[in-house]
Amino acid sequence: MPPAPGDRDARREDVSQAVWRILAGKGFGGLTLRAVAAEMGVSTGMLMHYFPTKRDLVGHALHLLEEHTAARPRRHRPAEGLAALRAVLLDILPLTPDGTARNRIWVSSWDLALADDGLHADQAGRYARMRSAIRPHLEAARRQGELPASADLDRLAADAIAVTHGLVVQALFDPGRFPPDVQTATLDAFLASIATTGDLRD
């Protein structure tokens, strides 16, 4: 019965890429149906055919964001413990044009997410997932003696995410002062500080 099965998914993928480019350039504030349509050289009606409302489009864009974040080319995960944590955090930083675009979109989404209850909860969940994702590495680090036995891993997880995202924001606004090697060094300074610390007090 479907006449042209014409890859529906492929079309949605095309739209996704156009949305991605708009977001990377203009942020969520510049994401309009007409901008996306113009970027693709198609009509707005075509967009609505695949995404009935703009909310669907935004929702898909945020889904894309998480997908890109999960599917980005990962550097070799060298070992367990702090080295592995370092690799995870380095993967987050805007060290490449692609990483910059990804983080640009992340930060841009926060205005929307803070204003919209549903997106707000999504974002809180994403952070919780990030923290629990790095916990195993912290546990391994503590097991290997890279962290003191008394270390509060939940606190350290929040600290590590905080350093990383705080660095992301500063780097986005001042890429000249935070080239990749400076970002790496700054992150390493943090890791070194928690690693060589004998006592992370309550």
Partner DNA sequence: TTACATACCGAACGCTCGTTACGTACGTGA
Partner DNA sequence: TCACGTACGTAACGAGCGTTCGGTATGTAA
Which residues lie near a second copy (CB under 8 A)?
A: 26-30, 104, 107-108, 110-115, 120, 123-124, 127-128, 152, 155-156, 158-159, 161-167, 169-170, 172-174, 177-178, 185-186, 188-190, 192-194, 196-202
The tokens for 71 are: 């599917």
Ranges within 17-46 binding DNA (CB under 7 A): 31-35, 42-46
To DNA, the closest distance from the beta carbon of 17 in angstroms equals: 15
Nearer Cβ to DNA (10/70): 10
Is residue 53 near DNA by the rule CB under 7 A?
Answer: yes
Is residue 11 near DNA by the rule CB under 7 A?
Answer: yes
To DNA, the closest distance from the beta carbon of 187 in angstroms equals: 37
User: Which does residue 46 bind out of DNA, a second copy, none, counting CB within 5 to 8 angstroms by kind?
Assistant: DNA
Rule CB under 7 A: choose which of 4, 70, 115, 149 binds DNA. 4
Rule CB under 7 A: choose which of 13, 55, 111, 166 binds DNA. 55
